[in-house]
Amino acid sequence: MSVNRINQIKKHNAETYHNISYDLYQKLTEKCCICGFDSIVELHHIDEKHENNSTNNLVGLCPNHHAMIHHRDFSEEIKKLILK
């Protein structure tokens, strides 16, 4: 899949599923807010309510930290790191 096609998909997802501009999506997913990893970054809803797309409820997380925040053994520790 080409980089152009991937960007088209990201733009569509940002506008359709998160109801935010692609520019904001790019800014939020520039790097993981915990470790700084920047190759793959996913958008996470802090309050876990997918309908709440306010900018103070969205953060970029690498796949590892995103998985950890949804795992009961690590979620509180990761939430504390996000809210620092």
Model confidence, pTM: 0.85
Structural domain boundaries enclosing 67 = 3-82
- Please answer whether residues 23 and 10 qualify as being in contact, where contact means their C-beta atoms are separated by less than 8 angstroms: no
- Measure CA 70 to chain center: 13
Please give the structure tokens belonging to residue 67: 């998985």
The closest of 15, 62, 24 to 42, measured between CA atoms, is 62
For strands 58-61 and 42-45, give the pairing: antiparallel
Please give the structure tokens belonging to residue 66: 């995103």
60: β partners: 43
Tell me how many domains the chain contains.
1
Reading the chain (84 residues) residue by residue, the pLDDT tens digits are 888 998 899 899 889 888 899 999 999 999 999 999 999 999 999 999 989 999 999 999 999 999 999 998 888 899 899 987
